[in-house]
């Protein structure tokens, strides 16, 4: 049985990823920064879903999750870096507060970096891994606009991180690291006017989480189609 770590699994797209991975027979570590919310979300899902606290901005919290994974399962074959914050919708880049930038990058970029640094070495020992960084087309430099500057910059940096890690792992043919855009999805972040359901948003991520051995690495996709970086 494979084990998956999902960050920000208590609601939105992360919760749906947990639901679908568990339905596919994967053991899911549903993580959330609030332990009570992780428990409540995990209890609502069928399958083997284990709640565990994880604040992606806190190195000690990442270390505690790693110790748990190593002791219980040895490795997590699937890692979904889903947790993120959007604090500057509607803010112009020339008036964005640098502290906001820092806070968003701390969660959306350094969070996934910390987690990759903690868990990919275990994948290297096993010679298998699927890492999906949940990004956004807002992070595409080709299509970059003035929308939510801190958020967009953080997703561009997450895309860069995806490329770098994939390159670092080029000698490990069965470890795949990709970025996914879920599209505009009805969640707390996406709002109620978004056209996509969480099921539709999660589909791009699930596909990359379950890639076959000859699957791609180092790409940026939505609905299975490559997006411009």
From CA 29, how far away is CA 191, in angstroms rounded? 26
Q: Does 11 bind ligand NAP (CB under 6 A)?
A: yes
Interface segment toward ligand NAP; rule CB under 6 A; list 71-79, 88-96, 159-167, 180-188: 180-188
Smallest gap, in angstroms, from Cβ of residue 199 to ligand NAP? Answer: 12
Q: Does 204 bind ligand NAP (CB under 6 A)?
A: no
Give the count of beta carbons closer than 10 Å to the beta carbon of residue 157: 19
Q: Does 116 bind ligand NAP (CB under 6 A)?
A: no
* Residue from 189, 203, 208, 227 binding ligand NAP (CB under 6 A): 189
Active site members: 151
Report DSSP letters for 176-215, one per residue. EEEEE---SBSSTTT-TT-SB-HHHHHHHHHHHHT--TT-
Q: Choose between 92 and 188: whose C-beta lies nearer to ligand NAP.
A: 188
Please list, in sequence order, all residues whose beta carbon lies within 8 angstroms of the beta carbon of residue 149, skipping any fewer than 6 positions away: 88, 91, 92, 93, 96, 101
- For the chain, how many residues are written? 229
How distant is the alpha carbon of residue 73 from its chain centre?
A: 20
The CA-based angle 91-92-96, given to 5 degrees, is 70
Is residue 103 classed as helix, strand or coil in its secondary structure?
Answer: helix
Q: Choose between 34 and 63: whose C-beta lies nearer to ligand NAP.
A: 34
Smallest gap, in angstroms, from Cβ of residue 167 to ligand NAP? Answer: 22
Q: Does 96 bind ligand NAP (CB under 6 A)?
A: no
Q: Does 8 bind ligand NAP (CB under 6 A)?
A: yes
Please list, in sequence order, all residues whose beta carbon lies within 8 angstroms of the beta carbon of residue 62, skipping any fewer than 6 positions away: 54, 56, 114, 115, 118
Q: Does 12 bind ligand NAP (CB under 6 A)?
A: yes
Look at strands 225-226 and 220-222 and give their pairing. antiparallel
Smallest gap, in angstroms, from Cβ of residue 66 to ligand NAP? Answer: 15
String of contacts with ligand NAP for each residue 15-44, x by CB under 6 A: -----------------xxx--x-------
From CA 56, how far away is CA 66, in angstroms rounded? 12
Size of the site for ligand NAP (CB under 6 A): 31
Q: Does 57 bind ligand NAP (CB under 6 A)?
A: yes
Which spans of this chain sit near ligand NAP (rule: CB under 6 A)? 7-8, 10-14, 32-34, 37, 54-57, 82-85, 107, 134, 136, 181-182, 184-185, 187-190, 194
């Amino acid at each position: 049985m494979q084990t998956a770590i999902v960050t920000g699994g208590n609601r939105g797209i992360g919760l749906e990823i947990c639901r679908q991975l568990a339905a596919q027979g994967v053991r899911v570590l549903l993580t959330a920064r609030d332990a009570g919310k992780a428990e409540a979300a995990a209890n609502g899902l069928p399958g083997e879903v284990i709640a565990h606290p994880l604040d992606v901005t806190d190195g000690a919290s990442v270390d505690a999750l790693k110790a748990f994974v190593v002791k219980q399962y040895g490795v997590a074959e699937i890692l979904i870096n889903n947790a993120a914050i959007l604090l500057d919708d509607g803010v112009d880049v020339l008036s964005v507060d640098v502290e906001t930038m820092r806070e968003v990058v701390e969660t959306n970029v350094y969070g996934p970096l910390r987690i990759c640094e903690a868990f990919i070495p275990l994948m290297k020992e096993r010679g298998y891994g699927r890492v999906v960084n949940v990004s956004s087309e807002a992070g595409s430099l080709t299509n970059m606009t003035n929308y939510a500057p801190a958020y967009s910059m953080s997703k561009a940096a997450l895309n860069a991180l995806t490329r770098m890690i994939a390159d670092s792992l080029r000698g490990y043919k069965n470890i795949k690291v990709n970025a996914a855009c879920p599209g505009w999805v009805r969640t707390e972040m996406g709002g109620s006017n978004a056209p996509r359901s969480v099921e539709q948003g999660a589909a791009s991520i699930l596909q990359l989480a379950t890639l076959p051995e000859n699957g791609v690495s180092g790409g940026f996709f939505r609905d299975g189609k490559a997006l411009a970086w």
